[in-house]
Structure 1
Amino acid sequence: MEIKNQANPTHKICLACCSWSWMKFTFLAVLYCLILSPAAAYDPLDPTGNITIRWDVMSWTTDGYVAAVTMNNFQMYRQIPSPGWTLGWSWAKKEVIWTMVGAQTTEQGDCSKFKATIPHCCKKTPTVVDLLPGVPYNQQFANCCKGGVLASWGQDPSAAVAGFQVSVGQAGTSNKTVKLPKNFTLLGPGPGYTCGPAKVVPSTVFLTADRRRKTQALMTWNVTCTYSQFLASKNPSCCVSFSSFYNETIVPCPSCACGCHNIKNCVKSDSNLAHKAGINTPKKDNSPLLQCTHHMCPIRDYWRVKMAVTNFNYRMNYTDWTLVVQHPNLNNVTQVFSFGYKPRPLPIHDTGMFYGMKFYNDLLMEAGPSGNIQSEVLMQKDQNTFTFRQGWAFPRKVYFNGDECMLPPPDEYPSLPNSGHVTLFQSYKRQPPCF
């Protein structure tokens, strides 16, 4: 994405000491790298972001239980777009799924030993997907049937939840005999998520339909899945370019920011292939078809007084996208044009989320004339901190759809001309409190 290193005994002892010191250094270095590995699913802008799967046993059956499964996307800035989430696990015993409401498994498995009633799924490792909108009412469940699409929590909490009901057989009929599923996996729609083990938690309390009486699940367990941008892709998915009114230079995205130019995996903007019928259709392996650029990112952002987001992926329409920016002056936002905006709910509001307005620009079209959306942001000037010097005017971090974008090196930021420091600085003080 783009936004415009034969001795005497004494020496032997010394050598041994040095070796031990080197071993300690190597161990500490490896430990440090493991702690700070990019595979670690920690994001300083969304430290508690995760997807939590809650499994509530609501009733016992003759050979198992009926459970309500709820998936909450507690990630502030990352949604799950089409084609949606895929949830999998391994049964602890010989469980089967008798029926499902609001979701379905992708395979039935071998159910040949069942004669009278055939289960919905007999696989040891079932894979579950959401139903599409418009299914009959008797197949629906609360928060189901959205094609697996989940909004980010920061954008729309009411649309950041999914649910389905599952009837499990051959599973045990009490809290002591039921065994928790293992090895949970979540794809959304590509890789990147790692799920922890299921853990029994206090049973969920529900309100009845009239909200006058409380009921309680017979048993509840949670599974927490976290996202790692590094696990999702070895390359960033977006990059940022900078320009400024006080410098004629446009600082582009770093070369090969998201991979290097390869004629086999990109399309020239003037190529006939770019206009071939069906070229915009997503593929099952989620493979992109990018416009040939020096940065090879699907998305590019520009940050100026004006922001623009450009789509270079011919096969992807980004629906309900989010753009997160960290900048000290975002604590003084006056007005945002064309985009929706929400500040980060922290004491220091240096981070904000921009997103498209429904039915106006919530859909960022594929590469081409329609693959560009723009906005302008007005912010009050704080005379104690505002400056044009040393790249202060540019963002510290930029995320698109929850993935951190590659920024140009700080020493390449547009700089003030030597003769313009005083003039520009005095000029901005005389202007109204916005820009």
Structure 2
Amino acid sequence: MIQDSSKFLSAFQMNVGFGKTNNITEVMPTNFTLGIPGYTCGDAFLVSPTRSSPDGRRWVQTLETWNVTCMYSQFRASPSPKCCVSLSAFYNSTIVPCPKCSCGCQGLPGAKCLKSGEKSPHLLELPRVRENEEVPPLVTCSQHMCPIRVHWHVKQSYKEYWRVKITITNHNFVKNYSSWSLVVQHPNLRSVTQLFSFNYHPLNAYGNINDTGMFWGIKSYNDMLLASGQSGNAQSEMLLHKDPGIFTFREGWTFPRRISFNGDECVMPPPDEYPTLPNSATTSRPSSVFFSFLILVFVF
């Protein structure tokens, strides 16, 4: 709703019995469902009657009020993940790819992909699905087989700041992602100084702990992530302040803890594969030993 509140609305009305008569017994509703994949609802329970003001002048108290809690589960919404994360840094030539088979494996049942050079199918050639049902993704053949890949690149280091480049790539040939959103968890997000091509809003989910933020595209510029192709990516750079006492390039600290795309958590590489700093100790030791050997040869 932060992106564009005019595009999000949730409301419903439920009539139980006949409100004009008093000789009825209200029956607590059961088997609640939202009809949206991934959501499950618990049993309703009775709470204190609520009041409402239909005309803004008088208050009307309800006969009974029930409370129902619904929760979202990514595993119920989709049998496999929908995105993955790759990492790189200016201080290491290694590019850590998305983990193998993050969203599926080539050759397994249900895994469909297009190899390099193959022509993508026309929309009319795709299999028919039920109304409100999502078309199964048709992705580029890759090691990860994910429709969406998010790349986090630690680009540059300054005296008091450091720069990150975020690239979102759509590998799905049959879907454009409109009004997409990206949620990132990183301890240095509390010190975001400047963002160049995305919108940003902090999400203070745990009181004063500001380590999570939401990114989304700029309207009519990159808020539409087009299907796989030359225009199937969106990217931005971010400048962050180096917070004294916590900032470090060691132990993979500069990489995100979690990333979610459109509400689905992305598969991260294992921490032991993160790009590491060059080990200066191992590179300097052989040279000192060689220098000592030259001195010994010269003396004797």
Which TM-score band (shorter chain)? 0.7 to 0.9
Offset, 1:382: 1.6
Q: 1:204 aligns with which of 50, 65, 68?
A: 50
The answer to whether the aligner puts 1:347 opposite 2:208 as a matched pair is yes
SS at match of 1:369: coil
Aligned to 1:316: 175
| 1:418 aligned onto 2:279 | yes
Name the CA distance, whole Å, in 2 between partners of 1:221 and 1:180. 8
* Root mean square deviation, CA, Å: 2.9
* 1:106-158 per-position Cα deviation (integer Å, ceiling 9, x unaligned): xxxxxxxxxxxxxxxxxxxxxxxxxxxxxxxxxxxxxxxxxxxxx4xx65667
Q: 1:330 aligns with which of 189, 201, 205?
A: 189
For residues 380 and 307 of structure 1, do their structure 2 counterparts lie closer, same or farther at Cα, with a shift above 3 Å needed? same
Q: Is the 8 A contact 1:185 1:195 kept in 2?
A: yes
Instruction: Pick the aligned partner of 1:403 from 251, 264, 267.
Output: 264
Residue matched to 1:266: 113
Alignment check: 8 A CA contact 2:123 2:174 kept: no
Query: What TM-score, normalized to structure 2?
Result: 0.78
Once the two structures are superposed, residues 247-286 of structure 1 have per-residue CA deviations (whole angstroms, 9 ceiling, x without a partner) of 11110001101111138612224212x1524368984342
Deviation at 1:303, TM superposition (A): 0.9
In 2, Cα distance between the equivalents of 1:374 and 1:281?
A: 32
> Which residue is equivalent to 1:390?
251
1:391 Cα deviation after fit: 0.8
What's the % identity of the aligned pairs?
54
Separation (CA, whole Å) in 1 of partners of 2:58 and 2:4:
28
Structure 2: tracts of 5 or more residues without a match: 154-163, 283-300
Structure 1 residue runs without a partner (length 5+): 1-150, 422-435
Q: Once the 2 structures are TM-superposed, how far is the Cα of residue 176 of structure 1 from its aligned partner?
A: 5.3
TM-score norm. by structure 1 comes to 0.55
Asked if 2 retains the 8 angstrom alpha-carbon contact of 1:281 and 1:315, the reply is no
Q: Which residue of 2 aligns with 1:35?
A: none
Deviates more, 1:218-227 or 1:389-398: 218-227
Q: CA deviation at 1:179?
A: 1.2
Offset, 1:169:
6.1
1:107-256 equivalences in 2 (<5 Å): 151=1, 155=3, 160-165=8-13, 173-174=21-22, 177-188=25-36, 191-209=37-55, 211-256=56-101
* SS, match of residue 272 in structure 2: helix
SS at match of 2:214: strand
Q: Distance in 1 between matches of 2:106 and 2:141?
A: 7
Q: Distance in 2 between matches of 1:370 and 1:173?
A: 61
Q: Secondary structure at the match of 1:278?
A: helix
List per-residue Cα deviations over 1:5-56 (Å, max 9, x = no partner): xxxxxxxxxxxxxxxxxxxxxxxxxxxxxxxxxxxxxxxxxxxxxxxxxxxx
Are residues 208 and 420 of structure 1, via their aligned partners in 2, closer, same or farther at CA, if it must alter by over 3 Å?
farther
Change (3 A) 1:313 1:254: same
CA–CA separation in structure 2 for the residues paired with 1:179 and 1:275: 52
Runs of 4+ aligned structure 1 residues displaced above 4 Å come to 154-160, 166-176, 279-282
Distance 2:200 2:128 in 1: 29
Moved more, 339-348 or 245-254: 339-348
- Kept in 2, the 8 Å contact 1:194–1:227? The answer is yes
Distance 1:368 1:156 in 2: 27
Structure 1 counterpart SS, 2:76: helix
Q: Is the 8 A contact 2:17 2:26 kept in 1?
A: no
Question: Matched residues in 2 for 1:413 and 1:182: separation?
Answer: 48
**Contact 1:333–1:380 at 8 Å: present in 2 too?**
yes
